[in-house]
A and B are shown apart, each in its own frame.
Chain A
Amino acid sequence: MTALSRRDVLRLSGAGAAAFVASSLLPNLAAADAASTAAAIKKIIGSKTLQQGRITLELPQIAENGNTVPVGFEVQSPMIGADHVKAVHLFAEGNPEPSVASIRFSPASGRAKAATRMRLAKTQNIIAVAEMSDGSVYMAKTEVKVTIGGCGG
């Protein structure tokens, strides 16, 4: 068996690094940060106080590829006219634009649970904000580590 020599591995790494930079989806741009994400959230919730709980995020700890990261969430709610989830907003703190999606629900949804896929430029926090019909707002935050991987063009 011929293992990769130390030099081979180093060379391959170098080639990989170049390829990763060239193929990055979101290059050369200042990423959003915690402050601009907070500003975006404030625009939605105004002066209301964000509470923890009721919303859970489902995310991989490590994303194999930043192009397609599965993200799911669920908000505990009876989803009836008098008490339901109005909307859930997803944010990615480290992307060029923090907003990922705003999903408006109705009692016809039955369940305030959804799943989609997003791009993540780098390792960062994902924040979900739930707006309830009584005006209260809840949030959840989870970090996702992003592997800038994928050999080959």
Chain B
Amino acid sequence: MAKSKARVKVPKSAKKGEIFQVKTLISHKMESGQRKNKKTGAKIPRMIINNFTCTYNGDMVIDCDWFPSISANPYLAFFVKADKSGELAFKWTDDNGKTVEKTASITVN
């Protein structure tokens, strides 16, 4: 998870009440737990990002549980309603409980 790199796309500004799109992407293998090591035949243990959240000035916007069927390098696009200037905070959590966090600020006028 330490190596995972996240990208987020958030507009710099929006009008109050405007609904804008946010796009997120993080590098991660999303090891499904279904694959086997080709040489040894041993099962490769599951290691995925199982949760993603986005908060807006501390309030929950979206809270997702992900399962092994989510593709490698998980992508999520969703919407947020512009309310007050402030910060969007993004958090990805893996099966070990390790997290990657990223923030983006937005001006609402």
Q: Which residues of A contact B (CB under 8 A)?
A: 22, 25-29, 67-69, 72, 79, 92, 95-97, 99-111, 113-120
Contacts and interface: CB of A to CB of B under 8 A. Distances in A.
B70 A100 contact: yes
Contacts of B75: 115-117
B83 interface: yes
B76 A111 contact: no
A95 to B, nearest CB: 5
What does DSSP make chain B's interface, helix, strand, loop or mixed? Answer: strand
A96 B64 contact: no
Interface in B74-109: 74-81, 83
A56 to B, nearest CB: 15
Of the four ranges (under 10, 10 to 19, 20 to 34, 35 or more), the interface on chain B belongs to: 20 to 34
A118 B71 contact: yes
A109 B67 contact: no
Contact of B74 (A25, A97, A102, A116): A116
Nearest to B76: A116
B26 to A, nearest CB: 12
Interface in B52-66: 56, 59-66
Given A96-B68, A115-B76, A117-B70, 19 more contacts: A22-B38, A26-B35, A27-B36, A72-B77, A79-B81, A96-B34, A97-B67, A103-B64, A104-B62, A104-B63, A107-B81, A108-B56, A108-B81, A113-B78, A114-B62, A115-B77, A116-B70, A116-B71, A116-B76
A151 to B, nearest CB: 19
A43 to B, nearest CB: 13
A96 B69 CA distance: 9
Contact of A25 (B35, B56, B61, B64): B35
